[in-house]
Structure 1
C-alpha cells in the first residue's frame, strides 16, 4: 500500500524514513516537546530510529499512520502528526502530533492536523471513511487544547488518572470531532 502524502499551503506531509533520524532525534530530545508525553526526552539517536521503525510498522500492519510534517519550501522536518490508532470497524481514530518549539505559534500544527482530519473524514486513508476522531490531552497542555478547539473538537470529559508514565498517574481530557461537525466548519479557514 502506497503511503499517502498530503500537501497544504505551507507544508508537505510524507512518510518518515531513516534519513529523518537526526531531525526526529532533535524533535524528541527537546524537553518541551515531550513534557506531556509518555516518553522521556531522547538521549540516544537510536531511539529516533526505533520510533521511525515503530511508526512504519504500525502503518504496514494498518494499525495507524504517522506523517513527517515538512516545510514545503525546504523539505525540513519540523514535527510529526497522525492517527496513533484507528478502527475501520468502529470508523474512529485517535490523533497525535508534536512540533519543534522553533515552529510553535505559527499555525503549522493546525494546518497539518486539519489536513489529516480532512483525509480521514474523506475516506482517503487505508482505515476507510472515519466518523469520529478523538484526541487526549493532559490538563495544562493549553497549546494542544487550543489546536483542537480551533479545529472544532469538543471537550467531552476528564478521565481521572487514566494514564501512567514518568512515575505518576495523569488525568486525560478527551476531545472528539465528528465528521458532520468538521464538514460544517469547511467554510471557515483554519
Structure 2
C-alpha cells in the first residue's frame, strides 16, 4: 500500500521518515504545542524517532495515517496531521493535528485539514470512503476549536473526565463532521 501524498497551495503533506526526527523533536519539545497533549515535552531526539516509528506502524497496520506538514517553498517540516484511528466498518475516523507554535495564526493547519478531509470523504485513503470524522479538544484550546469550525466541524458535546494524562482527568469536547455537511474550499 503506497503512502498517499498531497499538495495544497502552500503545503506538501508527505510521509514522515527518520530524517524528520529533528523537526518532530522541535515540534513536540515546545511546551506551547503540547499544552493540551497527552504527553510531556520531548527531551531527547530518540523520543522523536519513536513517534515517527509509531506513525509508520499505524499506517502499515492500516489503522491510521499521519502526514508531515511541510512548507512547499522551503520543504520545512512545521507540523503533522492525520487520522489517529479509523473504523472501516463504521466509515469513521478520528483526526489529529499539531503545528510548531511560531507558525500559528497563518491558516496552515486549516489548509492541511481541508486537504485530508477532502481525501477522506472522497475515498482517497486506505480506509476507504468515510462518512464521519471526529475530533476531540480539551476545553480552553480555542485555536484548535477555531480550526475545526473553519473546516465545518460541529461541536457535539462535552465528555466529562474522558481523558487522563499528566496525572489528572480531562474533559473533552467532541466535534464531528459528516460527509454530507462538508464544503470544499
- Note whether the superposition's TM-score is higher than 0.5: yes
- State the match for 2:22 in structure 1: 22
* Corresponding position of 2:100: 100
Mapping 1:80-159, distance limit 5 Å: 80-159=80-159
d(CA) in 1 for partners of 2:40, 2:174: 23
SS in 2 for 1:43: coil
- Rounded Cα–Cα distance in structure 1 between residues aligned with 2:26 and 2:12: 19
- TM-score w.r.t. structure 1 length? 0.97
Q: What is the distance in 2 between the residues matched to 1:137 and 1:27?
A: 19
Number of residues of Structure 1 aligned to a counterpart in Structure 2? 185
**Partners of 2:116 and 2:35 in 1: CA distance:** 24
Unaligned segments of structure 1, at least 5 residues? none
Query: What TM-score do the two structures reach when normalised by structure 2?
Result: 0.99
User: What is the CA distance between 1:102 and its match in structure 2?
Assistant: 1.1
Aligned counterpart, 1:72: 72
**Deviation string for 1:25-67 (max 9, x for gaps)?**
0000000000000000000110000000000000000000000
- Can you list the C-alpha shifts for 1:124-170, whole angstroms capped at 9, x where unaligned? 00000000000000000000000000111000000000000000000
- CA distance in 2 between partners of 1:152 and 1:27 (Å): 26
Identify the residue that residue 164 of structure 1 maps to in structure 2. 164
Question: For residues 1-12 of structure 1, what are the structure 2 equivalents within 5 Å?
Answer: 1-12=1-12
